[in-house]
Amino acid sequence: MLNHDSTKKRKIRNQEESNALIQRNVPSSNLNLLTTNKRNTQFEINMMGNMINCNFYIPDATDDNTGLAFRVAYLHIMLFIIKMMQEDAIRTMLGNLDLRTSVINFLMKNFDNSDSQICSLCHYLSFTLSWSGDMRVFTVMNKWLLKTKSPVLSGSRVKFEVDNLEETIKAIATHTYPQYFSHLCVASQLFHLDVSRFLNLFVVALVLEQ
């Protein structure tokens, strides 16, 4: 009886540790995704000596896009978020697929900007967005399980999770911009990055990473 209780407590403790590990590494992104076709996001670049301000304007509830959403300032190699919106507005912005697409398109179009500072800014922001957010679920398994050809992947107990991971890999690989999948995929594709689909594999990858 004592052994049974001890085993049960150990399992509960291991599960709690696994859950804590996941919470620390998977960003919260339960955003209310908006289905909208609005295209009136505005961008503005201002140069002041060695500093570049890149302003992003987005429409509010009344479709007014004259209010500053947030400003990114670039000074030499330093990047600052100078002004941010209120939390609810940020969630709305991040939940707007049209806006995310517009921002990423804007950055890519300026990779070869004639001004070296603007070019550097866009490359930096693009690098920051690449494989970020919920993509963490995929990248950690890719690095520690797939690239190393971990024997864990051949285990019979995780076959269903491996199948799910293969499905996720195909979805990401066939996307126009795999590195921005979590930002640019439609809402119906977000399930591919749901950590519960490969919970054990993800926990193993996190343990290997530490």
Taking only the tens of pLDDT, the chain with its 210 residues reads 555 566 656 655 655 665 555 455 554 433 333 233 344 445 555 555 554 555 555 555 555 555 444 444 444 433 333 334 444 454 455 556 777 787 788 788 888 888 777 787 788 778 878 888 888 889 999 999 999 999 999 999 999 999 999 999 999 999 988 998 988 888 899 899 999 999 999 999 999 988
User: Using CA atoms, how far apart are residues 192 and 137, in angstroms rounded to an integer?
Assistant: 10
- Contacts (Cβ under 8 Å, ≥6 apart) of 156: none
Contact 33, 187 (CB under 8 A): yes
How many CB atoms are located within 10 Å of the residue 62 CB? Answer: 6
Q: What angle do CA 205, 179, 110 make, to 5 degrees?
A: 145
Q: To which residue do tokens 């939940």 refer?
A: 95
pTM given for the model: 0.61
| Cβ proximity of 138 and 168 under 8 Å | yes
